[in-house]
Amino acid sequence: MDASLPAHMRPERSFQGFILALQRFWAEQGCVILQPYDMEMGAGTFHPATTLRALGPKPWNAAYVQPSRRPKDGRYGENPNRMQHYYQFQVIMKPSPPNLQELYLKSLAAIGIDSAVHDIRFVEDDWESPTLGAWGLGWECWCDGMEVSQFTYFQQVAGFECAPVAGELTYGLERLAMYVQGVDRVYDLNFNGRDGDQKVTYGDVFLQAEQEYSRHNFEYADTAMLFEQFKMAEAACRKYLDAGWRDGGNKKQHLMALPAYDQCIKASHVFNLLDARGVISVTERQSYILRVRELAKACGEAWIHTEAGGAA
């Protein structure tokens, strides 16, 4: 931890200071610090800076905060740590550096978790995303019995082998910050690190939003529109993928992988909303997941035929 920081910027006092400390740490490791992707998504992994950039031979090191939207996890602001919107901090390094575990532990030190007094453990947890056609091996990282991060070596994304393999770290920011600040309710987190009148809590920022979105997600989200939107996003994705092959479909170079992938992200979020509204049956559920996966795979294929995806 940086001792020169003013009190209100210290990661153990301030949620924003906590995020800034992580960003600064990973910037120092050579990561580009991106801003959140401007679309709704269920996890930071969906960000094209992870999903697509994990594919292809080119080195890529990035870190960013990504809001995660999990419509089903909304609890109208009444649960101390479950929300339909929360932040993930995502790090991706390709190829995975040999000292990624050490870097991760140093990043914990940078946010005030001292490995001399805490019990930090790497516990088996293999990661799989059926919607992204992706899997990897790794761990959930425990601090004193609490899962604080997910650590994964990507083996496959969008149905393609990762060569080379990227290492991915995902920090659950609120949970970690609650631990470091010593609060038991997420809405009690000190957001800006100030005291008295100047103090802004996580609740001040997000409690109303949690209540409103829970209402929306469970009760009012327009399902007819959402079903339509799913179909539209799926069709648009296919259309952009087809149109993107250079020289009329020679399948050698693709020019629209990113816009097509946006539609895949869109379809996935719309599906999550429909799921939260409870209008998708168990059997249908599987087929929707499969449809999103097919889009993700096709986008992955397009991506490896782009310049950043490593096409010659």
- Which positions lie near other proteins, rule CB under 8 A? 57, 80-81, 95-98, 101, 115-124, 126, 136-139, 143-146, 153, 155, 162-165, 167, 179, 184
C-alpha distances out from residue 204 to 65, 176, 200, 207, 279, Å: 20, 19, 6, 6, 33
Name the residue among 263, 280, 265 with its Cα closest to residue 227.
280
We find the least distance from the C-beta atom of residue 310 to other proteins, in angstroms, to be 10
We find the least distance from the C-beta atom of residue 5 to other proteins, in angstroms, to be 22
Q: Which is closer to other proteins, CB of 46 or CB of 127?
A: 127
Q: For residue 95, which phi and psi values (nearest 5 degrees)?
A: -65, 160
Q: Which is closer to other proteins, CB of 155 or CB of 223?
A: 155
Q: 172-203: b or e for each residue (b if 16 or more CB lie within 10 Å)?
A: bbbbbbbbbbebeebbebbbbbeeeeeebbbb
We find the least distance from the C-beta atom of residue 294 to other proteins, in angstroms, to be 25
Radius of gyration of the chain measured on its C-alpha atoms: 20
Q: Which is closer to other proteins, CB of 34 or CB of 109?
A: 109
Q: Which is closer to other proteins, CB of 141 or CB of 233?
A: 141
Question: Can you state the angle between helices 282-303 and 257-276, rounded to 10 degrees?
Answer: 170
We find the least distance from the C-beta atom of residue 306 to other proteins, in angstroms, to be 18
Q: Which is closer to other proteins, CB of 250 or CB of 281?
A: 281
Residue with token string 């959140």: 36
We find the least distance from the C-beta atom of residue 278 to other proteins, in angstroms, to be 13
Pairing of strands 60-69, 32-34: parallel
We find the least distance from the C-beta atom of residue 151 to other proteins, in angstroms, to be 9
Q: Which is closer to other proteins, CB of 18 or CB of 37?
A: 18
Give the Cα separation of 78 and 210 in Å (integer). 9
Q: Read out DSSP for 149-172?
A: EEEEEEEEETTEE-SSPPEEEEEE
Name the residue among 242, 272, 221 with its Cα closest to residue 46.
272
